[in-house]
C-alpha cells in the first residue's frame, strides 16, 4: 500500500497536478476533483478555508458529507455537536493565534459522527491544551487517529477506539500510553515523534502491541525511555519499519539511534533491534562493550549506515578473532562514521586475511578525532567501492595508502585529510617500497632486472577523484607521487592549507628512468577548476619538481588562490626562486583561459603579478584580490625593452573587481609606462566596477590620468589607510596641467575615503563629475580638496 501511494503521488507530481515541497494540490485541480466527487450522492466532500467549524456545522452543510476538511485561523475555536451520520473523514487544522490558550469541545461533539473512520486534529505553531469529552469513546469505527500539537494529559480514551489501525501523536504532551492499547488487535502503526511523555517510568506498553508493524519516535522525550522502547520492539513479531532517531539523519526504512545508554541491556535478546536496523547511530554508550561485534550484537545483516560517537569503551568495531561466520557480520555496510572515540585503535581486530573483506563494500568513511586509531587500512585491503573518505585529527602512519590499496581506489571521489600530524605522503612511492623490500630480503632482484622491478608501469589509479582537501598536516611533504599524475584525469578541486613542510603537490618518484616510461614533461590536469593553496605553506615550491612542466591542457581552471609562500618570488609554481619573471611570461607557462577569480596573499618576495603580455591568458578574469605582498611593486610589470604588443580588442576584458590590501611597496595599480606600450590603450579594464585599496603606504596614485575614459563601468571606489596616497589619477609629463577639467566617472555611485593623511583630490586641478553618485564618505582626510567637501555637504542627501 505504501509503495502504491508513493507511486501515485509521483505520477501526480510529474503531471503537475501536485506542487512540490509541501505536496499541495493546485486550486484548480482541487476544485475539479471536488466537483467530480460531489456529483456522487455518497462521496460529497467539503473543503472549508474561511469559517470556524462550528459555523459550518450550524449551516447544515456537512449533514450529507463523506469528507470534511477544515483549515482556518481563529483566535477562539469552538467545536459544537456535529450532525453528519455519513461523515467518514474529518480533517481539522488550526493555525493557532498567539492568544489561543485552549480548545473547547462540546460534550456532544462526537455523538453525531459515530461512523467516522479518519479523524485528524492538528495545531500549527504552538502546543494547545485540550480535553476530549466522553463522547469521543463513541468513535469505535475510527481507523486513523491523528492528534498533533496538543497538550492531552490523560489519553486512556484511545483504548476505546477498537478499530484503530494508525495512531499519530506527533508533537503531543501526555501522561503515558495506556496499557490497554495492547488489546487493540488492529493497531499497526504508532508515531510518537517529538512527543513528551510525563511519566518517567516507561510502562512497557509497546511490547503488548503484538500486531504493530511500524513505529516512529524521532525523537521521543524523555530520551531515557528510548532504550526500553528498543528492548520492547525485540519481541514484536510483525514489526517491519521503525525510526528511532533525530530528524536530521536521512530517513531509512529501519533506523535506530541510542544516546547515553547501557548497551548491555540489549545483550541476549532473541531479536535484537540493532540486528534489524539499516541505519544505526550510537552516542555515549557504556556497559562494558569493547567492540560492536560480537560484544554488543551478533551479525548486522541489514546494516548499511553506522554512526558511532563518543563511546569511550570501544576499542575496535569488529573483533574478527572471535568464532563468527564471516558472511554474516556486516555484509551490506556502505557508510561508516566514527567520531571522538578516545580508545579506538583499529577498525577490525584480527589477521589481515580475516579483516580484508570488511572494507570491500564501504562507500563512505568519515573518521574524526580518534587519536589512538593508527593503522586504518591493512596493506592488502581492497577499497574498490569507496567514494568519500574523510580523516580528521587521527593518528596515521607516515604513508596512508600502500601502493596496492591506492590502486583499488578506482571509485574514490572526495578525499579530505585534516590534522594528521605524522603523515608525510598519502600514497606509497613505488621506489621507496621496492627499496624497503630489497632491504628486507637482502637481494636486489629475483630473476628480473632491477630496472624492471623499480620502474612502475603507468598507473590509472583514483581515476574518479574529483575533490582533495588537505588541512593542518604538519609533516606532509607531498600528496601524490608524480608517477601517478596521469591517474587523476577527473580531478576538479585541490585545497591545501596549514601544511608548513609541503613542498610539492606531486612529489618526486626518485627514479631516473621514470620519464622514459611516462610522458611527464607535462603534468596534465585537464579538468582542474579550483586550486586553493592557502595559509602556512612555508616550504611550498611548486605543483611538481622544477624539471617538469605543469599544464592544464583543457584550460579549465576557474578559481586560483595563492597564500603564504614566503620563499616563492613569483606565483607560477614550477619556477624556482631566483628565476627572472620577465623571461617567463605567464602565458608561456600556465594557460588560464577560464580563470575567473585570482587571490594572492602573503607572497613576501613577489614583485610583479602579471607580465604585460598576460592579458591574452586571462580573458575571463573577473575578480582579483592581492594582500600582504610586501615586495609587490606593480600588478602589471613594465616591459623595459618597449616591445610593441600585438593588437587586441581589450586588456583584462572581463575584470570587475580589484582589491589590494597591505602591499606597502606598491607604486600604482596600472603604471603609465605600461599603458604606453599597449596599441589599444583605450580598452583597458572596460568592465571594471569595484576598486578597494587599503593600507598600501607607498602608493601615491592608482592610475595615470589618461585612464579616466577607460573606466566607464566604475561604480565603487574605496580607499583606506594608505598614508602616501594623494590622488586617484595622476598627471604624466606629457599631459600638462589643465585646471578645472572634469573627471567624468559616469557610473560611480559609492566613493569612500578614510584615514588618508595626504589625500588631496581625485586628480590635481580637476573636478569630479559623477551624476550617479549616491554616497560620498570622507573620514580623517585633512588635506582633501574643497571641491570634494562641497559635494559631500551640498549635493548628497543626508
Residue-wise pLDDT for 403-445, tens only, equals 888 888 889 999 999 998 889 988 877 655 444 444 444 444 3
Can you list the pairs that 38-45 forms with residues at least 24 positions away whose Cβ atoms lie under 8 Å?
Answer: 42/66, 42/86, 43/67, 45/69
Grid coordinates given for 46: 467539503
Q: Measured between alpha carbons, how far is 189 from 212 in angstroms, rounded to an integer?
A: 6
Q: Are 484 and 459 in contact (CB under 8 A)?
A: yes
67: enclosing H helix or E strand: strand 67-74
* Percent with pLDDT over 90 in the chain: 26
Nearest Cα to 480, choosing from 431, 421, 522, 426? 426
Cβ pair 254, 302 in contact under 8 A: yes
Query: Rounded distance, CA 416 to CA 392, Å?
Result: 8
- Based on the domain organization, do 32 and 59 belong to the same domain? no
CA 357 to chain centre: 31
Per-residue pLDDT at 715: 96
Higher pLDDT, 577 or 481: 481
Place of cell 560620498: 776
Supply the pLDDT for residue 547.
64
Give me the pLDDT at residue 575, please. Answer: 35
Same domain? 14 vs 82: no
State the residue range of the domain holding 23: 1-39
Residue identified by cell 636486489 is 444
- Confirm if 710 and 685 have CB atoms less than 8 A apart: yes
Beta strands 67-74; 364-368: pairing state: unpaired
pLDDT at site 514? 47
Cβ(767)–Cβ(744) under 8 Å?
no
Strands 291-293 and 254-259: unpaired
On whether both 91 and 150 belong to a single domain, the answer is: no
- Give residue 244's pLDDT band: very low, low, confident or very high (50, 70, 90): low
**Which of 29-43, 130-144, 148-162, 406-420 bottoms out in mean pLDDT, i.e. has the lowest?**
29-43
Longest dimension (CA), the chain: 102
From 130-134, 246-250, 268-272, 633-637, the region with the lowest mean pLDDT: 246-250
What grid cell was written down for 79?
A: 467545536
Closest CA to 681 of 661, 702, 705, 701: 705
**pLDDT computed for residue 665 by the predictor:** 92
pLDDT surpassing 90 at residue 586: no
For residues 293 and 274, the answer to whether their CB atoms sit within 8 Å is no
Name the pLDDT band for 682 (thresholds 50, 70, 90): low
Confidence (pLDDT) at 1: 56
Radius of gyration of the chain (CA): 36
Cβ atoms of 286 and 316 within 8 Å: the answer is no
Number of other residues whose CB lies within 10 A of the CB of residue 772: 11
C-alpha cell recorded at residue 603? 607572497
Q: Who contacts 396 (Cβ-Cβ below 8 Å, separation ≥6)?
A: 374, 376, 420, 422, 423
Answer whether 311's CB lies under 8 Å from 338's CB: no
pLDDT tens digits for range 512-566? 444 444 445 556 788 889 999 888 888 887 777 766 655 544 468 899 898 877 6
Task: State how far the Cα of 312 lies from the Cα of 223, in Å rounded to an integer.
Answer: 20
CA distances for 349 relative to 48, 141, 169, 500, 724, angstroms: 64, 57, 44, 35, 67
114 plus 172 within the same structural domain:
no
Looking at per-residue pLDDT, the higher value among 653 and 23 belongs to 653
Which of the four pLDDT bands, split at 50, 70 and 90, describes residue 738?
low
Query: Which candidate, 746, 792, 739, 783, places its Cα nearest to that of 763?
Result: 739
pLDDT-derived band at 589, boundaries 50, 70, 90: very low
Whether cis (ω within 30° of 0) applies to the bond prior to 219 is: yes
- Cis-peptide into 460, omega within 30 deg: no
Q: Look at the block and give the residue holding cell 559616469.
A: 746
Q: What is the mean pLDDT of residues 176-195?
A: 91
| DSSP notation for 366-397 | EEES-TT----S-TT---TT--EEEEES----
Asked if residue 730 is part of any domain, the answer here is yes
Residues 213, 235: one domain?
A: yes
H helices, E strands: number in the chain: 13, 51
- Cell numbers given for 752: 569612500
pLDDT(56) > 70: yes
**CA-based nearest residue to 562, from 578, 540, 586:** 540
Domain assignment present for 50: yes
The reply to whether 470 falls in a domain is: no
CA contacts within 13 A on the Cβ side of 676? 14
DSSP code per residue over 167-219: EE-TT-EES---GGGGG-TT--EEE-TTEEE--SS---GGGG-TT--EEE-SS
More confident residue, 544 or 169: 169
Nearest to 736 by CA among 715, 761, 763: 763
Burial (CB count within 10 angstroms: exposed 0-12, middle 13-18, buried 19+), residue 8: exposed
23 and 66, same domain (yes or no):
no
Q: What is the pLDDT of residue 338?
A: 93
pLDDT tops 60 at residue 184: yes
HSE-up (13 A, CA, CB side) for residue 5: 2
Look at 698 and 571; give whichever has higher pLDDT.
698
Q: By the 8 A CB rule, do 605 and 575 touch?
A: no
Q: What is the pLDDT of residue 597?
A: 93
The per-residue pLDDT for 37 is 66
> 129 with 107: CB under 8 angstroms?
no
Backbone dihedral angles phi then psi of residue 79, each to the nearest 5 degrees: -105, 115
What CATH number should be reported for the domain holding residue 155? 3.80.10.10
Name the percent of the chain in helix, strand, coil, to the closest 5.
20, 25, 55
Q: Which grid coordinates are listed for 748? A: 560611480
* Residue 66: pLDDT band with limits 50, 70, 90: confident
Is the pTM above the cut of 0.85? no
Averaged pLDDT, 573-596:
50
Secondary structure class of 768 (helix, strand, coil): strand
Residues 167 and 237 in one domain: yes
Confidence category of residue 181, pLDDT binned at 50, 70, 90: very high
Same domain as 33, residue 20: yes
Is 117 inside any structural domain? yes
Task: Give the span between the Cα atoms of 587 and 591, in whole angstroms.
Answer: 6
Q: Among 49-58, 358-367, 415-424, 657-666, where is mean pLDDT lowest?
A: 49-58
Q: Say which residues have a Cβ less than 8 Å from residue 148's Cβ, sequence separation at least 6.
A: 120, 121, 122, 123, 168, 169, 170, 171, 172
| Residue 151 and residue 91 share a domain | no
**pLDDT for the residue numbered 756:** 95
What span, in angstroms and rounded, lies between the C-alpha atoms of 267 and 227?
12
745 φ/ψ angles, rounded to the nearest 5 degrees: -125, 90
Beta carbons within 8 Å of 410's beta carbon, 6+ residues apart: 384, 461, 462, 463, 464
Residue 76 and residue 154 share a domain: no
Sign of CA dihedral 297, 299, 300, 302: negative
166 plus 202 within the same structural domain: yes
Residues 27 and 119 in one domain: no
Looking at the predicted structure, is the pLDDT value of residue 601 above 70?
yes
Domain end point (choices 227, 244, 261): 244
Rounded distance between C-alpha atoms, residue 197 and residue 199, angstroms: 6
How would you classify the pairing of strands 254-259 and 241-244?
Answer: parallel
* 234, 296, 347, 775 from 293: Cα distances, Å: 18, 6, 11, 68
| Coil vs helix vs strand at 75 | coil
DSSP for 387-423, written as a single string: -EEEEES----SEEE-HHHHHT-TT--EEEEES-SS-
Number of domains in the chain: 4
Q: Which of 228, 244, 260 is the last residue of a domain?
A: 244
How far apart are the C-alpha atoms of 239 and 271, rounded to whole Å? 11
User: How many other CB atoms sit within 10 Å of the CB of residue 186?
Assistant: 12
C-alpha distances in angstroms, 131 versus 114, 135, 154? 19, 11, 9
Of 244, 268, 296, at which residue does a domain stop? Answer: 244
The answer as to whether 180 is a domain residue is: yes
Residue 328 DSSP code: G
Over residues 565-592, the mean pLDDT reads: 47
Q: Is residue 643 part of a domain?
A: no
Between CA 217 and CA 731 the distance in angstroms is 75
CA 476 to chain centre: 25
Does residue 538 form part of some domain? no
Question: How far is residue 402's CA from residue 379's CA, in Å, rounded to a whole number?
Answer: 6
- At 518, list the grid cell: 611516462
**What local confidence, expressed as pLDDT, does residue 622 receive?**
95
Tens-place pLDDT, residues 360-369: 888 999 999 9
Question: Above 70 in pLDDT, residue 640?
Answer: no
Q: In degrees rounded to 5, what are phi and psi of residue 71?
A: -125, 115
Q: Is residue 478 domain-resident? A: no
Amino acid at each position: 500500500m505504501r509503495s502504491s501511494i508513493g507511486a501515485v503521488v509521483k505520477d501526480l507530481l510529474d503531471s503537475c497536478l501536485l506542487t512540490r515541497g509541501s505536496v499541495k494540490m493546485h486550486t484548480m485541480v482541487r476544485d475539479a476533483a471536488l466537483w467530480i466527487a460531489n456529483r456522487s450522492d455518497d462521496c460529497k466532500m467539503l473543503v472549508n478555508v474561511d469559517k470556524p467549524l462550528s459555523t459550518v456545522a450550524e449551516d447544515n452543510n456537512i449533514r450529507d458529507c463523506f469528507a470534511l476538511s477544515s483549515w482556518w485561523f481563529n483566535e477562539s475555536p469552538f467545536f459544537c455537536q456535529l450532525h453528519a451520520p455519513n461523515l467518514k473523514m474529518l480533517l481539522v487544522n488550526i493555525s493557532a493565534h498567539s492568544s489561543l490558550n485552549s480548545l473547547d469541545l462540546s460534550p456532544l461533539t462526537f455523538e453525531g459522527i459515530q461512523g467516522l473512520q479518519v479523524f485528524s486534529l492538528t495545531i500549527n505553531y504552538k502546543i494547545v491544551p485540550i480535553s476530549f469529552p466522553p463522547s469521543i469513546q463513541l468513535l469505535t469505527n475510527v481507523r486513523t487517529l491523528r492528534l498533533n500539537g496538543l497538550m492531552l494529559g490523560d489519553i486512556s480514551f484511545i483504548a476505546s477506539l477498537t478499530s484503530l489501525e494508525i495512531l499519530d501523536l506527533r508533537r503531543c504532551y501526555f501522561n503515558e500510553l495506556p496499557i490497554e492499547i495492547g488489546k487493540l488487535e488492529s493497531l499497526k502503526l504508532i508515531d510518537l515523534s517529538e512527543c513528551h511523555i510525563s511519566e518517567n517510568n516507561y510502562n512497557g506498553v509497546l511490547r503488548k502491541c503484538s500486531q504493530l508493524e511500524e513505529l516512529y519516535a524521532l525523537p521521543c522525550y524523555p530520551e531515557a525511555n528510548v532504550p526500553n522502547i528498543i528492548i520492547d520492539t525485540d519481541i514484536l513479531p510483525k514489526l517491519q519499519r521503525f525510526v528511532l532517531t533525530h530528524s536530521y539523519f536521512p530517513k531509512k526504512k529501519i533506523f535506530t539511534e541510542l544516546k547515553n545508554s547501557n548497551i548491555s541491556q540489549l545483550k541476549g535478546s532473541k531479536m535484537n533491534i540493532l540486528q534489524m536496523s539499516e541505519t544505526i547511530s550510537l552516542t555515549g554508550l557504556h556497559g562494558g562493550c569493547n567492540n560492536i561485534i560480537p560484544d554488543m550484537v551478533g551479525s548486522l545483516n541489514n546494516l548499511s549506515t553506522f554512526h558511532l560517537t563518543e563511546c569511550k569503551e570501544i576499542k575496535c568495531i569488529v573483533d574478527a578473532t572471535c568464532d563468527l561466520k564471516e558472511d554474516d557480520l556486516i555484509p551490506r555496510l556502505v557508510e561508516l562514521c566514527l567520531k571522538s572515540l578516545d580508545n579506538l585503535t583499529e577498525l577490525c581486530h584480527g589477521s589481515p586475511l580475516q579483516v580484508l573483506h570488511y572494507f570491500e563494500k564501504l562507500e563512505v568513511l568519515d573518521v574524526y578525532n580518534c587519536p589512538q586509531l593508527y593503522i586504518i587500512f591493512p596493506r592488502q585491503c581492497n577499497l574498490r567501492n569507496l567514494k568519500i573518505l574523510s580523516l580528521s585529527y587521527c593518528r596515521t602512519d607516515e604513508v596512508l595508502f600502500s601502493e596496492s590499496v591506492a590502486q583499488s581506489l578506482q571509485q574514490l571521489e572526495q578525499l579530505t585529510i585534516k590534522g594528521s600530524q605524522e603523515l608525510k605522503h598519502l600514497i606509497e612511492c613505488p621506489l621507496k617500497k621496492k627499496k624497503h623490500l630489497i632491504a628486507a630480503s637482502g637481494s636486489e632482484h629475483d630473476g628480473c632486472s632491477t630496472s624492471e622491478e623499480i620502474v612502475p608501469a603507468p598507473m590509472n589509479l583514483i581515476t574518479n577523484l574529483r575533490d582533495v582537501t588537505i588541512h593542518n598536516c604538519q609533516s606532509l611533504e607531498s600528496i601524490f607521487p608524480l608517477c601517478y599524475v596521469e591517474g587523476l584525469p577527473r580531478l576538479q578541486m585541490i585545497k591545501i592549507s596549514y601544511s608548513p613542510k609541503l613542498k610539492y603537490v606531486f612529489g618526486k618518484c626518485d627514479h631516473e628512468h621514470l620519464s622514459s616510461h611516462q610522458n611527464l614533461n607535462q603534468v596534465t590536469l585537464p579538468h582542474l577548476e579550483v586550486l586553493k593553496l592557502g595559509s602556512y605553506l612555508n616550504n611550498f615550491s611548486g605543483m611538481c619538481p622544477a624539471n617538469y612542466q605543469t599544464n592544464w591542457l583543457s584550460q579549465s581552471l576557474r578559481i586560483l588562490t595563492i597564500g603564504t609562500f614566503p620563499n616563492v618570488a613569483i606565483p607560477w609554481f614550477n619556477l624556482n626562486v631566483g628565476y627572472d619573471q620577465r623571461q617567463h611570461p605567464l602565458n608561456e607557462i600556465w594557460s588560464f583561459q577560464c580563470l575567473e577569480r585570482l587571490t594572492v596573499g602573503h607572497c613576501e618576495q613577489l614583485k610583479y603579478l602579471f607580465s604585460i603580455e598576460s592579458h591574452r591568458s586571462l580573458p575571463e578574469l573577473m575578480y582579483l584580490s592581492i594582500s600582504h605582498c610586501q615586495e609587490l611593486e606593480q600588478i602589471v610589470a613594465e616591459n623595459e625593452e618597449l616591445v610593441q604588443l600585438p593588437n587586441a580588442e581589450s586588456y583584462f576584458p572581463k575584470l570587475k573587481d580589484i582589491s589590494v590590501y597591505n602591499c606597502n611597496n606598491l607604486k600604482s595599480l596600472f603604471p603609465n609606462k605600461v599603458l604606453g606600450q599597449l596599441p589599444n590603450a583605450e580598452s583597458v579594464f572596460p568592465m571594471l566596477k569595484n576598486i578597494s585599496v587599503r593600507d598600501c603606504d607607498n602608493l601615491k596614485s592608482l592610475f595615470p590620468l589618461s585612464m579616466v575614459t577607460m573606466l566607464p563601468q566604475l561604480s565603487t571606489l574605496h580607499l583606506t589607510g594608505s598614508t602616501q596616497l594623494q590622488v586617484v589619477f595622476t598627471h604624466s609629463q606629457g599631459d600638462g596641467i589643465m585646471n578645472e577639467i572634469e573627471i567624468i566617472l559616469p557610473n560611480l555611485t559609492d566613493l569612500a575615503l578614510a584615514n588618508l593623511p595626504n589625500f588631496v583630490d581625485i586628480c590635481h586641478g580637476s573636478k569630479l563629475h559623477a551624476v550617479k553618485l549616491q554616497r560620498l564618505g570622507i573620514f580623517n582626510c585633512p588635506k582633501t580638496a574643497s571641491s570634494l567637501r562641497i559635494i559631500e555637504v551640498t549635493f548628497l542627501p543626508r
